[in-house]
A and B are shown apart, each in its own frame.
Chain A
Amino acid sequence: MFVSINQLNKQFLDKDEKPTTVLKDIDLQIEKGEFVSILGPSGCGKSTLLSIVAGLTEATSGDIIVDGTTVKKPGKDRGMVFQQAALFPWINVLENVMFPLKKEMAKEEAEAQAKKYLQMVQLGNYLNHYPHELSGGMQQRVAIARALAMNPETLLMDEPFGALDEQTRTRLHGQLEDIWLETKKTILFVTHSISESIKLSDRIIVMGTRPGIVLTDIKVDLPRPRDQHKEEMLAIEEKIMRYLKKEIDKVVSEELSHEASR
């Protein structure tokens, strides 16, 4: 297995210093080149899980192995795209994409590589723009180019299109699918949009909440582009809905009883 998550647990201390379990016994095996979505209600620990895979957050127990090495700290083999583009406002688009390349290659080479990936996200004409001069969708594409530019084997994406409008999102879905088909990266894609996950991924990991667990693992075995398979997509959507409905009911009733107990 290319990415292997074994018996992962994560606890945070709440404000009374009491540990609360956010992720419980997560087991997940991902093959090289797979596009896997992680789907779940808000607060179920999706971001936390991705952040642990990125090496930005430490797990309480369990381990993660990526390409044969145990994850201990962040590394260039795992590129990350956040919900906010997180571009550096003091440098222009080209320099942002060159950021991860500065140390490992000569300037001309880094520039060529950055330009290549900016063209891939169709921003070849915006090299000298500063982030504040770009729309949200464009910023997110620069962030994707920046993550791709260091040529990581794995791409971790935390609701990368969550803050965008519907049309922009649909367009970027197409671009991401093309990029994935072209580069054959292993992608871990966090989302809470069911249709987004069905449209893009080979597999959908549906998570439940409090504590965060893997509810089910659904294979999406439809040819791409998937817009021509509306019915099959709908069937999968209904299946996922049934799983999530129980979870959402659970959250609502928990919140109600919490309200009542106050």
Chain B
Amino acid sequence: MKPVVKRFIFIVVILGLWELGSRMGLWAELILPSPTNVAIALFDGIQNMTLIYDLVASFRRLAIGLVIALVIGTGIGVLIAKSKTADDTIGSMLLAFQSVPSIVWLPLAMMWFGLNDKAVIFVVVLGGTFVMALNVRTGIKNVSPLYIRAAQTMGSKGIDLFIRVVFPASIPYFVTGTRLAWAFAWRALIAGELLTTGPGLGYTLRYASDFGNMSLVIGVMIIIGVIGAIVDQLIFQRIEKSVARRWGL
């Protein structure tokens, strides 16, 4: 049996048991609403556009935050890969920053930017920047000396060497860095939205919870999970695989 088929059957069985349990009244609707009610809540949300607005608002913050994170992360990564002093100072701090969930910055961010988009975007930026920087640094440091020597014998040096050899040689690490930055940014985004104002997926999640609309809570959770899985598996893992194959890793 193909893995896809197995996965499909598995999900159908889970949903079936879940629906059955709800129908038999094994648990209260407020504790765990039935799959049908979740589906209805999702359908309603999409039909009256509220979930669509949430999605658009969330993705806007994510896109802005992620782009900024990738740009700054690449900049820092190149800097600490090239300068020993920068690596000894900034580089050693990155690991410390990276080990702190970026949502802890939200209280500070709200003081600086107010209770709005900017505070959430700030948290998203922090979520993605450090992994990106660390991966770019590793990528640049791991460029095979053979490539560099070969390029030097062909008259390449300095900035030309960096643009035409060092940078493309470390693309596999850029891709991994981007995938991880996305994953951290996505988590930071939802956490940030839970604690600020809407519209946004995280905001709607908390709003629904405050009003005891558990069907919508689970509906939004499913949206968040599905988007995360799709982006990671369908986009990033494919790119990563094809890059790794061509780069001979």
Contacts and interface: CB of A to CB of B under 8 A. Distances in A.
Interface of A: 51, 54-56, 74-76, 78-80, 82, 84, 86, 88-91, 99-100, 102-103, 130-132, 146-147, 150, 156
Given A99-B164, A150-B155, A82 B150 contact: yes
Contacts of A86: 146-147, 149-150
A71 to B, nearest CB: 12
A132 B245 contact: yes
B83 interface: no
B42 to A, nearest CB: 43
Given A51-B149, A156-B153, 15 more contacts: A74-B153, A76-B154, A76-B155, A80-B149, A86-B146, A89-B248, A90-B169, A90-B171, A99-B151, A99-B156, A100-B154, A103-B155, A130-B246, A132-B248, A146-B154
27 contacts: A51-B149, A56-B149, A56-B152, A56-B153, A74-B152, A74-B153, A78-B153, A79-B154, A80-B150, A82-B146, A82-B149, A84-B146, A86-B147, A88-B147, A89-B246, A89-B248, A90-B169, A90-B171, A91-B168, A99-B154, A100-B155, A102-B164, A103-B155, A130-B246, A131-B248, A147-B153, A156-B153
B97 interface: no
Contacts of B157: 74
Interface in B146-178: 146-147, 149-157, 160, 164-165, 168-169, 171
B161 to A, nearest CB: 11
Closest 5 A/B residue pairs (Cβ): A100-B154, A86-B150, A80-B153, A74-B152, A76-B155
Contacts of A80: 149-150, 153
Contacts of A156: 153
Contacts of B164: 99, 102
A130 B147 CA distance: 16
A64 to B, nearest CB: 15
B27 interface: no
Given A82-B146, A84-B146, A99-B164, A90 B154 contact: no
Nearest to B167: A90
A147 to B, nearest CB: 8
Contacts of A100: 154-156
B152 A88 contact: no
A79 B150 CA distance: 9
Nearest to B153: A80
A193 to B, nearest CB: 22
Contacts of A147: 153
Contacts of B171: 90
Contacts of A146: 154
A78 B152 CA distance: 11
B247 interface: yes
Contacts of A75: 155
A55 to B, nearest CB: 8
Contacts of A99: 151, 154, 156, 164
Nearest to B152: A74
A90 B150 contact: no
Contacts of A55: 152-153
Interface in B55-94: none
A76 B152 CA distance: 9
A56 B146 CA distance: 11
B101 to A, nearest CB: 35
Interface in B225-248: 245-248
Contacts of B147: 86, 88
Given A75-B155, A100-B154, A100-B155, A88 B165 contact: yes
Contacts of A54: 153
Contacts of A131: 248
A102 B149 CA distance: 18
Contacts of B150: 80, 82, 86
A215 to B, nearest CB: 28
Interface in B162-198: 164-165, 168-169, 171
B173 to A, nearest CB: 13
A190 to B, nearest CB: 14
A19 to B, nearest CB: 22
